[in-house]
Amino acid sequence: MYNQTCSLLLQKGEVMNGEQLKIKTKQGRVVYGSMISIGRNPRWTKAISDLGLDYVVIDMEHAPRGRAEVADYLVAIESINVVPIVRIPIPDSHYATMALDAGAHGVLAPYCETVDEVKEVVGACKYRPLKGEMVKRAVDDGIFPSEESRKYLEDLNKNSVCIIGIESVPAIENLDKILDVNGIDAIFVGPNDLTISLGIPNQYDHADYESALREIIKLCQGKKIPVIIHHQTVDLTKKWIKEGARFVLHSSDRRQLHQGYRNDFNDIQEFGSNIMGEKSKAIGESTEVI
């Protein structure tokens, strides 16, 4: 009954939190989000509040952010009915629990390659504050200190979205086993890291890259786990939605800021240069790699 109620509210656009985001993806629907790479002040959330986003990922892997400022940002994002997810620096249980304790509704653990790494993150996301041997028993065998503890932990962590980064050849080779770990809510692909691992840096139209993505999507579809591919262009994002990526993570705040200014100022500078009889200098694409 609760899930049915959440589904109805989602259709009306009235609520969105980590639990509802998971319900939406389990229904096979598309969810839309973007990466926050430079935004630091909570007031930045006003700029994204009316974009129709389901979620945002606050980057802590490549962006220089502290725990306290992320906590303030998380509260601000939650207030605009957008699900806040934190990309932690490494696949580590302590980073995961710190993000969730600060108010994140989910964690994206980058560059996971082994089942043990994934289990550590899943245990932190799904069963915090359980630690040590107890959380290992919960993840490996579904054994809890008591039935009361199990219910308490599941309720406490019901909003926690656990996203696992598959960004290398060894990760793909282990993906079938990784997907057997219960508690994974989505698989994330970082195109820059993956193409480097494949030996074809940033060649997003290369046959080897496309083949790798299709293999990831196929394996994940078999386990009913949605795939996120963090592309930076509209054409690539649309292409891989068509190919089966339903958890859409498009571009970043920095890239979109650059793109907006770029489009306007290329037009304005070309116009001004024509009036002055000068050659216009075009502004290039963003060089951000995240």
- Kindly state whether residue 273 falls inside one of the protein's structural domains: no
Which pLDDT band holds residue 141 (cuts at 50, 70, 90)?
very high
Q: Which 8-state DSSP code applies to residue 144?
A: -
- Kindly state whether residue 260 falls inside one of the protein's structural domains: no
Whole-angstrom distance, CA of residue 83 vs CA of residue 111: 22
DSSP collapsed to 3 states, 167-229 = CCHHHHHCHHHHCCCCCCCEEEECHHHHHHHHCCCCCCCCHHHHHHHHHHHHHHHHCCCCEEE
Whole-angstrom distance, CA of residue 93 vs CA of residue 122: 8
Q: What is the mean pLDDT of residues 107-136?
A: 98
Domain assignment of residue 248, given as a range? 18-254
Higher-confidence position of 285 and 51: 51
- For 156-187, how does the pLDDT look when each residue is reduced to its tens digit (9 = 90+)? 999 999 999 999 999 999 999 999 999 999 99
> Over pLDDT 70: what percentage of the chain?
95
pLDDT averaged over every residue in the chain? 92
- Kindly state whether residue 279 falls inside one of the protein's structural domains: no
Rounded alpha-carbon distances, angstroms, from residue 83 to 33, 54, 127: 9, 6, 20
Helix (H) or strand (E) segment spanning residue 56: strand 55-59
Catalytic residue among 62, 94, 231, 258: 62
- For 210-258, how does the pLDDT look when each residue is reduced to its tens digit (9 = 90+)? 999 999 999 999 999 999 999 999 999 999 999 999 999 999 999 999 9
- Kindly state whether residue 235 falls inside one of the protein's structural domains: yes
Q: What is the mean pLDDT of residues 127-145?
A: 97
- Kindly state whether residue 226 falls inside one of the protein's structural domains: yes
Domains held by the chain: number: 1
> Over pLDDT 90: what percentage of the chain?
82
- Kindly state whether residue 1 falls inside one of the protein's structural domains: no
- Kindly state whether residue 53 falls inside one of the protein's structural domains: yes
Higher-confidence position of 11 and 179: 179
pTM, full prediction: 0.91
User: Does position 25 have pLDDT exceeding 60, yes or no?
Assistant: yes
Structural tokens at position 4? 């049915």
Bond prior to 129 in cis (omega within 30° of 0): yes
Which pLDDT band holds residue 14 (cuts at 50, 70, 90)?
low
Whole-angstrom distance, CA of residue 77 vs CA of residue 197: 34
Q: What is the mean pLDDT of residues 138-160?
A: 97
Q: Burial of 152 by CB count in 10 Å (0-12 exposed, 13-18 middle, 19+ buried)?
A: middle
* 258 in catalytic set: no
Which pLDDT band holds residue 2 (cuts at 50, 70, 90)?
very low
- Kindly state whether residue 283 falls inside one of the protein's structural domains: no
Q: Please answer whether residues 255 and 232 qualify as being in contact, where contact means their C-beta atoms are separated by less than 8 angstroms.
A: yes
CATH number assigned to the domain comprising residue 168: 3.20.20.60
Residue 282 has a pLDDT of 86
